[in-house]
Structure 1
Amino acid sequence: MIPFEEELTNKGFKNIACIDEVGRGCLAGDVIACAIIMPKEGPLIEGIRDSKKLSAKKREELYPKILDRAVAVGIGRADCHVIDEINIKQATRLAMKQAVLNLKGKDDRTVIPDYILIDAENIDLPIDQKGIIKGDDKCYGIACASIVAKVYRDMECLKWDKEYKGYNIAQNKGYGTKEHREAIKKIGPSPIHRMTFLKNII
């Protein structure tokens, strides 16, 4: 992985937040973003890579290690109503912005970053930033954010599955599997389905 954070640290930046999101392509549930500041000193956590290239078991093993090492973590989210209203791209940017604004350290105090590294996006904040194509595969901090966002959203999927039965969201995570699409046709959409994503299904 390219040490973007190291390069920026050498330029004098101190709090470098890395951001990634999950759930952009789902039919149901929120799009969720994580902003994270990892420490500049100390060894990197072994096994960190793009969350999509890790098994669920490996992500769950890394999740507490990342949270334990992180200087600050913030979660942002946009629900189906926001997604339907402003479109998924703008909703993703909104979730990312909220994640930055929600950054808190271990003492629960707000942490304001002086630079932001984002997976292939830009957000409306007056902070120096850089969007990195395939950032979750190239940048350690973005990979950490991708794992936290994924595990966090997977836990939300378990809650949604209990509340909205019949779609097997615990298994498909809200993505458009054949089983999920057939369930929508059979029982209709739930309150967490993105109506703008269902035009070719219902």
Structure 2
Amino acid sequence: MPATPDSIVSPASAAVAGPHIAGVDEAGRGPLAGPVVVAAVVFAPGRTPVNGLDDSKQLTGARREALYPRIVERALAWKIVFVEVEEIDRVNIFQATMLGMRRALEGVLSALDGQECLARIDGNHLPRPLPCAAEAWIGGDARDRSIMAASILAKVARDRFMRELHGTWPQYGFDLHKGYSTPAHLAALRSHGPCPQHRRSFAPVRACAQASLIPEPGPA
């Protein structure tokens, strides 16, 4: 199984009068397998130093990969957090996502070394407790450039991880569907049963896991 970095942090490069805006977004809430990945990105106040940002879902994979190094190079601070399958199954996917958002914010605030920050979190829920003031932005990944950047980092990091998983469990096709419930993925689940990276708390995986425990009928 590939190594999973819990987080990657870039320190603040300069102290700038705040408040800073920390965009927060996730990738991977819906899939049947793999971690949910959350990213937070802070740009220096003023014009965003990265052109071409958009909601990661509106960009091609190649475009996201091209933007990724530009974001991490030019962001004042950024952090990526992986919340693993075991934690997802223990607390549920919603709570796991909230935990990831809080950890991502804690990371960028640490990098900013006490500078004032306002979090803009994509969606309609805010994690509690939070280490700074925050706003929930419905559709924020199409409205705020720091959230767009976070969505790109989270998506690229998760897609890379799922492609690595394909090398360990090629029978599921993780390199193609990234763990989402496509017909091909569901068929592979029925044929092979779940692997350790499948989320047992998700109904299709749970059903296949239970079916794999039922012995085949013997001869009459």
- What does residue 196 of structure 2 align with? 191
Task: Trace 1:37-186 onto structure 2 (pairs within 5 A).
Answer: 37-103=42-108, 109=111, 111-112=113-114, 114-120=117-123, 121-123=125-127, 124-186=129-191
Alpha-carbon separation, structure 1, partners of 2:48 and 2:170: 43
Q: CA deviation at 1:64?
A: 1.1
Greater Rg over alpha carbons, structure: 2
Contact 2:48–2:145 under 8 Å retained in 1: no
Please say if residues 21 and 118 of structure 2, whose CA atoms lie closer than 8 Å, have aligned partners that are also in contact: yes
Are 2:105 and 2:131, in contact at CA under 8 Å, matched by a contact in 1? no
* Partner secondary structure for residue 179 of structure 2: coil
Moved over 6 A (4+): none
Which consecutive residues of structure 1, in runs of 5 or more, have no partner in the other structure? 1-11
Aligned length: 188
Q: CA deviation at 1:13?
A: 3.5
Residue 110 of structure 1: how far off its partner (Å): 5.8
1:5-37 Cα distance to aligned partner (Å, 9 max, x none): xxxxxxx74332110000000000000000110
Query: Shift in Å at residue 200 of structure 1?
Result: 4.8
- Gaps of at least 5 residues in structure 2 are 1-16, 210-220
- Structure 1 equivalent of residue 13 of structure 2: none
RMSD: 1.9
Q: Deviations over 1:141-181 (max 9, x none)?
A: 10010001101111111111112221110111111111111
Quick check: 1:73–1:104 contact (8 Å CA) kept in 2? no
Distance 2:71 2:184 in 1: 34
- So what's the TM-score if we normalise by structure 2? 0.79
Q: Percent identity?
A: 35
Instruction: Look up the SS of the partner of 2:41 in the other structure.
Output: strand
Letter in 1 for 2:122: D
Q: TM-score, normalised by structure 1?
A: 0.86
